[in-house]
Amino acid sequence: MEPDSSLHTIFNGALDHEDPEERSRFLEVACGGDPERRGQVERLLEAHNEAGGFFSNTRKTPAAAENPGTGGLAAEKPGDTIGQYKLLQQIGEGGCGAVYMAEQHEPLRRRVALKVIKSGMDTRQVIARFEAERQALALMDHANIAKVLDAGATGTGRPYFVMELVRGIRITDYCDQHNLPTAERLALFNLVCQAIQHAHQKGIIHRDIKPSNILVASHDGVPVPKVIDFGIAKATTGQRLTDNTLFTAFEQFIGTPAYMSPEQAELSGLDIDTRSDIYALGVLLYELLTGRTPFSAKELQSAGLDAMRRAIREQEPARPSTRLSALLASDQTATAEHHRTDSQKLIHALRGDLDWIVMKALEKDRNRRYETASGLAMDIQRHLEDEPVLARP
């Protein structure tokens, strides 16, 4: 932790020196002549400048300043009205925002999901990220991505936006509760890949693909996944979600550790591209096949920051078939039953193509991963059609 903390201190100190020559002299002394450390700080400073100075900027808007005691509480309650939407119940909550099921009466009657920034949390940085999420969703038009329907501001000036109400459960829970065979899980996963491919084609990287952000519901007996929560989405090169937005603050994890790519675990966040989503899709596929993530979320959380980052960046996970083989017999049986098969048949089904496909998506070196989400989906389709897969060694 100490090196990271000192880097943060150097970064903040450098911001106090606006003159380029003074800043250079400060960095030379503060970094002790260490070119690697200086390079890290300079990359952070460059990103800060490109983002218009929002890095570590938590100045509050007037609305927040007038309500210093709210402490980020949801000011709304069921029965309240925001715009033309009556709040029915709170269905989700994050650090800065709350999500409600709401009812719209005009021009048509329907139930929607309304996301609003909590009172007291409406800093410029939070508002920029919130607006970026809305714009990211508005850019997309795909059957498997939640749609934005409307946007506005509350009476106190806090932004909100309205999305279609996604009624569903986590993709992993859906597959297990319905005991979907492996082939059906793969087909469902491919729909998710197509949705992520659409986002990538629109210039958006999700950066937090995980089961809770992919909800599945049955429509006429057919499972339909919906990708939600683009709250930490990132624009690819050449695409801006807002005029001045920097999503990755120093020493802030962007993503969920168990699904985080090695490059995200670097913490700088200055060189993240669509292949980070490919890695997360690989983790999701691993979980759909084995019932477990490549690295235990509980173990990662208890390991401490440095050990967690090191494991994600350096430790090679077991292949899905190997992981399943190492489980207790009772756990093997339980997992296999969720696939409507027995443990030995499931292990055999994973060995070969599916092992190779998953491990290619999980490559530490992103240059060795699938280049696109559609490329991953196509290899899975080849497996389903008994054709040679590209992931084969």
> Is 57 inside any structural domain?
no
> Is 202 inside any structural domain?
yes
Answer with the one of 164, 185, 201 that is the final residue of a domain.
Answer: 164
> Is 391 inside any structural domain?
no
Answer with the one of 164, 199, 234 that is the final residue of a domain.
Answer: 164
Look at residue 73 and tell me whether its pLDDT is greater than 60: no
Please state, for a pLDDT cut of 70, what percent of the chain lies above it.
80
pLDDT at 267: 67
For residues 303 and 337, membership in a common domain is answered with: yes
Look at residue 1 and tell me whether its pLDDT is greater than 50: no
Q: What is the pLDDT of residues 316-365, one digit of tens each?
A: 999 999 999 999 999 999 999 999 999 999 999 999 999 999 999 999 99
For residues 160 and 287, membership in a common domain is answered with: no
- Low-confidence winner among 136-145, 170-179, 191-200 (lowest mean pLDDT): 136-145
- Determine the structural domain holding residue 309 and report its residue range: 169-384
Looking at per-residue confidence, does 149 or 96 come out higher? 149
Q: Which positions are catalytic?
A: 208
pTM, full prediction: 0.75
CATH of residue 121's domain is: 3.30.200.20
Asked if residues 148 and 161 have their Cβ atoms less than 8 Å apart, the reply is yes
For residues 222 and 334, membership in a common domain is answered with: yes
Look at residue 315 and tell me whether its pLDDT is greater than 80: yes
Mean per-residue pLDDT of the chain: 82
Q: What is the pLDDT of residues 363-392, one digit of tens each?
A: 999 999 999 999 999 999 999 999 999 999
> Is 307 inside any structural domain?
yes
For residues 266 and 127, membership in a common domain is answered with: no
Answer with the one of 164, 185, 212 that is the final residue of a domain.
Answer: 164
Domains of the chain: total: 3
pLDDT at 298: 84
For residues 347 and 260, membership in a common domain is answered with: yes
